[in-house]
Structure 1
């Protein structure tokens, strides 16, 4: 049986960081990563691809929409062409985990795979904001997960972390919650222990939601490549503007910048917080911006 790891989580929660940790743990196995990025330009694939891994990118829409008709064919093709020991699926941050599980509940897929881990990464800093603004859609990932992994919790006080755990338990009292520094995280903590032979029961418990809640229908993306900005200070100023609503409600921005020092910088923006660091990935300047009610023309103009 081929092991299947599903790593879900809302936009910017830290899924790709976790996957890199998992890949390092399973470096002696043949692993294929199936990615689904929301936007026309793939960013995460570049980050993972530098390790020489096989990647299938599935762009332009969430996995539960764009793969609804070809998910089975895609995953079986992966098996045929790569014969992996393990497949890791990273849905876009606005995927419905219940829909993904429904697609996996296919006789042909179940006969070839066993679920090794089913993890939702929860952004501790933005948890209450996302829960209040994206309601049932956000909760779908929590309700249908086996393990919840809090990210960025080192930036919170103990009382705030405890409040998040209580809120998560009120949504899913049976879920395992890992609330520790990621430096101390063991991949073994993420393993599923009781789903392999009871998958059907799990699917029966999935709460039925419309594919997109009202708030999620407004989410869109804009992707820009080969832009001329090459100064770190300028990109910081743009990110500061992102947080004031000038260009819409920007939830996530990520990409690469070729700087004036002739090196590549990798940047990540999540709901008002951002970081910029040097990268050894050789690529062109590109950015993918995700949010609601985006002022797309204005965004494109600032990156001219």
Structure 2
């Protein structure tokens, strides 16, 4: 029997890990699942967040599984199937991975006879859509164009009119994909799963202006572009204590002052006091903190363009 493989794609910081946790909690708890977690930086952050869900996690760090880690990814996939014999493998690529390249790898002769490609889902943050489309077009568009299902994160923050406007823009890139615009706290994970694996009309966005004549744009470049050609990453291990206020002010200030490069994504698990740890997430204009049960060495991953690594290390490392 072939193993189901789900790909949950999306640009940096859109909420891929949060969606995977929701699907496992609401809909996939009875299945034997392995998650292949790909981090562009040298340190894995999100793998720890799945421990409470009792699933196996295979972390692949320091590169992108669609380019520099292509062969390692093939080996990891086959190893997971042989060692764990899971019902389902969920692939969470790094946010700068090209979805088309991942799908191409899964067509490899050594792999395709052992798997069934199931969900091909891309998470989109409507608020950042314009920024990412204009700044990182090739990578960002690719994740939308090759998805079978598109789902908005943070939909609860927008009016129906704004969501309709975002949906029109998304459908110009991919008119064939199912589009879920309902806030995640309004729908159960099993409904999202049914939407991705079949069709559930009540979750679809429908608008007469989105006609079948809408075309899927193709991406062509004279030379293949790898994530490492554009994006820098910095991984830091630290035993430093951080106040929540310090971190928030620091990251909000980075792109305003522009003295450390353009930071697209940062996340970490750090210590606030002797007995308190937090996990933080940053994308431009948005900083979130939650409590963490992690107890080890603090770790931070930063991804961006033209990073001033010495300055960042000075501010965050001990």
TM-score by length of 2: 0.86
User: Deviation string for 1:236-261 (max 9, x for gaps)?
Assistant: 22122123123111111101121126
TM-score by length of 1: 0.90
Partner secondary structure for residue 314 of structure 2: helix
Q: 1:260 aligns with which of 256, 273, 287?
A: 273
User: Deviation string for 1:206-265 (max 9, x for gaps)?
Assistant: 85555427x973311111112413222211221221231231111111011211262111
Could you say which residue in structure 1 is the equivalent of 2:14? 13
Could you say which residue in structure 2 is the equivalent of 1:191? 196
Q: 1:237 aligns with which of 232, 244, 249?
A: 249
CA RMSD, Structure 1 to Structure 2 (Å): 2.0
Deviation at 1:49, TM superposition (A): 2.8
- Segments of structure 1 that go 5 or more residues without pairing to the other structure are 195-204
Deviation at 1:108, TM superposition (A): 3.4
Question: 1:38 & 1:294 partners in 2: Cα distance?
Answer: 14
Q: Which range moves more in the overlay, 14-23 or 219-228?
A: 219-228
1:278 and 2:280 equivalent? no
- Segments of structure 2 that go 5 or more residues without pairing to the other structure are 200-216
Deviation at 1:188, TM superposition (A): 2.5
1:43 and 2:45 equivalent? yes
Q: Decide whether the 8 Å contact of 1:125 with 1:153 is kept in 2.
A: no
Could you say which residue in structure 1 is the equivalent of 2:121? 119
Map of 1:146-295 to 2, 5 A cutoff? Answer: 146-185=148-187, 186-193=191-198, 209=221, 210-212=223-225, 217-244=229-256, 245-260=258-273, 262-295=275-308
Question: 2:172 & 2:197 partners in 1: Cα distance?
Answer: 21
Q: Decide whether the 8 Å contact of 2:239 with 2:271 is kept in 1.
A: no
Could you say which residue in structure 2 is the equivalent of 1:133? 135
Deviation at 1:16, TM superposition (A): 0.3
Deviation at 1:275, TM superposition (A): 0.9
Question: 1:206 & 1:29 partners in 2: Cα distance?
Answer: 36
Question: 1:170 & 1:48 partners in 2: Cα distance?
Answer: 35
Q: Which range moves more in the overlay, 44-53 or 95-104?
A: 44-53
Moved over 3 A (4+): 205-211
Deviation at 1:285, TM superposition (A): 1.7
Q: Which range moves more in the overlay, 28-37 or 223-232?
A: 223-232
Could you say which residue in structure 2 is the equivalent of 1:198? none
Question: 1:208 & 1:22 partners in 2: Cα distance?
Answer: 34
Q: Decide whether the 8 Å contact of 1:120 with 1:147 is kept in 2.
A: yes
Question: 2:124 & 2:224 partners in 1: Cα distance?
Answer: 20
Question: 1:162 & 1:211 partners in 2: Cα distance?
Answer: 34
Q: Decide whether the 8 Å contact of 1:10 with 1:94 is kept in 2.
A: yes
Q: For the structure 1 residues 90 and 190, does the alpha-carbon distance in structure 2 shift closer, same or farther, using more than 3 Å as the test?
A: farther
